[in-house]
Amino acid sequence: MKNQPLPPPVLALLATATFALTHCNRSEKNPDIPAETSISSATEVAPDAPILPVHPGDSWHYDVHIEIQAGVMGPDAPAVDTHQERIRKYLGKVVVAEGLPESECFEVVSPGSPKEREFVEIHHDRILLRGSLTIGAKTTKPVWLDPPILFVSSEMKAGSVIPEIHDKSQFRKRKTQVVAREDITVPAGKFNSIRMLMTGSDGPVELRRTIWFSPGVGIIREEKVRYANEKLLFRETHELVGTTLKH
């Protein structure tokens, strides 16, 4: 497949697979999300803490490879095979929106895409997801998770499971489990990582998202795959090229 710019409709499609477990809740509380996000496991490992010792201004640079099959965006739409840069920058605490508390925030910038903000809580031993916001979208109302959802913990090991989350209609579902603790090599180097697998669906579209998170460093690699009726729709792979974070 030939390298080509990513058309705007594709950017809108890919925006549904952000860092947060998006669209499982809006600004109101959601009884479908457990009030306590627990981890079920069988064995113990030594904690990796602090899980992410960040400071405002720290950034992560990724090479993003996007592959979309011919016909996915329309009957005559060509296949897409392209690379782009993505930068995630930690802003510290910011105002999310009127009526919502301040939140720690990452800003994500990609060529040709609107800026995104990822709202999180970073604790000594875990990171919780609070929501997301697309800057410049028609609606500026953020996706806000209340209570927050566990993303990663220093206690995670192979077999750990995060309870399934879903919206009230059961249209969108997400379930995450830890597959392994393993070393992985990317352009930025070799890192010991927690490999997490998220599976779920957005109606008829199935998804698989694998994240390699290295305690003390952040997301090292990520692969997102979406398919319908056993047909691959697109694959998006992120690999860390470099970071200013001191670790």
| Mean pLDDT of successive 10-residue stretches along the chain, which has 247 residues | 37 35 37 36 59 97 93 84 96 95 97 92 95 80 89 88 72 84 96 93 87 96 90 92 89
Q: Are 151 and 129 in contact (CB under 8 A)?
A: yes
Task: State residue 129 phi and psi, 5-degree precision.
Answer: -90, 135
pLDDT at 3: 39
Distance of alpha carbon 183 from alpha carbon 118, whole angstroms? 26
CA pair distance 229, 192, nearest whole angstrom: 35
Q: Which residue ranges form the domains of the chain, and what is each CATH number?
A: 8-243 (2.40.360)
pLDDT at 137: 59
Q: Extract the tokens encoding 170.
A: 């059961």
What is the reported pLDDT for 29?
A: 37
d(CA 26, CA 146) in angstroms, rounded, equals 8
